[in-house]
């Protein structure tokens, strides 16, 4: 069995993030796993068995509605990260997994600090195809659409070096 937790599926799923779960479930089955997806939303009991976590994007209202609950389960998420549980956090969940998210109106939203990053929203969106190189994974190709500009802390290392597109930020 492979227990996959979809964090805040009801509120943080604005960009079709369910597709990531569907792709992961299909790939897991192809490799002989029996995937079990747990949708975790505010007020739910956090699953006892968690092998992998996925969190998606959400509007400001979605982030506000899950914020208190996320702070409550932060110790469990830190323990999972410390034990090496893979986590794919997209957009708003990525921002909240960092130390802080700074909005365009200069509101400072405290994150849970699983990731050693700070993200600041900017007025310009970075949109388009992206190509990056990773020593571990080779060439990665994707699409970016974000206004968040992320600065890595001293304990964070980039997954890739972007060769086409914007990547983390334009602040450096």
Per-residue pLDDT of 99-146, as tens digits, reads 999 988 899 999 999 999 999 998 888 899 999 999 999 999 998 888
Q: Which of 81, 85, 88, 64 is nearest to 7 (CA)?
A: 88
Instruction: Please give the pLDDT value at position 21.
Output: 94
pLDDT class of 15 with cuts at 50, 70, 90:
confident
| Rounded Cα gap, residues 140 and 37, in angstroms | 26
In b/e form, how buried is each residue of 6-30, taking b as 16+ CB within 10 angstroms? bbbbebbbeeebeebbeebbeebee
The band of 64, judged by pLDDT with boundaries at 50, 70 and 90, is confident
Q: From CA 138, how far away is CA 100, in angstroms rounded?
A: 30
Asked whether the beta carbons of 130 and 165 are under 8 A apart, the reply is yes
Instruction: Decide: residue 157, CB within 10 A, 0-12 exposed, 13-18 middle, 19+ buried.
Output: exposed
**Adjacent-strand bridge partners of 129:** 143
Please tell me the predicted confidence (pLDDT) of residue 17. 82
What is the CB neighbour count within 10 angstroms for residue 107?
10
- 163 pLDDT above the threshold of 80: yes
Alpha helix ranges (H) inside 39-99: 60-82, 91-97
In this prediction, residues 135-163 reach a mean pLDDT of 91
Q: Residue 170: which pLDDT band, with cuts at 50, 70 and 90?
A: low
**pLDDT per residue over 21-60, tens digit each?**
999 999 999 999 999 999 999 999 999 999 999 999 877 6
Whole-number pLDDT of residue 172: 52
pLDDT of residue 36: 98
């Amino acid at each position: 069995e492979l227990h996959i937790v979809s964090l805040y599926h009801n509120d943080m799923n604005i960009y079709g993030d369910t597709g990531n779960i569907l792709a992961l479930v299909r790939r897991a089955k192809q490799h002989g796993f029996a995937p079990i997806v747990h949708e975790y939303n505010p007020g739910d009991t956090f699953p006892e068995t968690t092998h992998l976590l996925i969190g998606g994007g959400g509007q400001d209202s979605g982030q506000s509605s899950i914020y208190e609950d996320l702070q409550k389960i932060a110790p469990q998420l830190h323990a999972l990260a410390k034990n090496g549980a893979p986590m794919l956090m997209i957009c708003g969940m990525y921002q909240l997994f960092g130390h802080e998210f700074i909005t365009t109106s200069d509101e400072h939203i405290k994150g849970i600090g699983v990731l050693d990053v700070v993200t600041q929203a900017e007025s310009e969106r970075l949109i388009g195809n992206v190509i990056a190189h990773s020593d571990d994974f080779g060439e990665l190709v994707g699409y970016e659409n974000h206004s968040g500009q992320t600065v890595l802390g001293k304990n964070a290392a980039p997954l890739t070096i972007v060769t086409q597109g914007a990547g983390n930020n334009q602040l450096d």
